[in-house]
Amino acid sequence: MPMSRIIHVHNLDNPSQTALQIKYCDSFTCRLRGLTFRPPLAPTEGLLLVYKRDSRVDTSIHMLGVSFDLAVIWINSSMQVVDKVLAESWKPAYMAKEDAQYILEIHPDRLGEFEIGNKVEFIDV
């Protein structure tokens, strides 16, 4: 899957939420760059960091070089939210409480739209 691909992420347990236009990011380079030194996200934008398997270590993130806060949602291979956090700009590290395969990074105002245990789906645009 190319790293410039845009998908929609839907929370099946909160279907009324506004659609999220998410950049699908599955290459090492895309994940490494992430949102470092980029402008803040609009409320409908985000980034989905995709890994090959569920892991806590592989899906840890840093906020160094990110000048704005993010809502970070960890999702496992069963498409279930396993953790979430408001990641503050310039903090050294965040790690999910459980193994995850996906990291959804979105506007901080949208953190409350996801709860641990929610089921999500990814839809091609």
CA quadruple 117, 41, 51, 57: dihedral positive or negative?
negative
Task: Please state which CATH number belongs to domain 6-124.
Answer: 2.60.120.1140
Q: Residue 56 pLDDT > 50, yes or no?
A: yes
Q: Which of 5, 6, 12, 30 is nearest to 79 (CA)?
A: 12
Distance CA 72, CA 107 (A): 9
**Residue of 120, 115, 112, 111 whose CA lies nearest to 88:** 111
pLDDT at residue number 31:
93
Cα–Cα nearest to 92, from 66, 122, 119, 62: 62
Question: Residue 104 has what pLDDT?
Answer: 98
Length reported for the chain = 125
Q: What's the pTM value of the predicted model, to 2 decimals?
A: 0.94
**Domain range annotation of the chain:** 6-124
| Residue range 91-119, pLDDT digits in tens | 999 999 999 999 999 999 999 999 999 99
Q: Are 113 and 42 in contact (CB under 8 A)?
A: no
Model confidence at 18, pLDDT cuts 50, 70, 90, reads confident
Reported as a pLDDT band with limits 50, 70 and 90, residue 1 is: very low
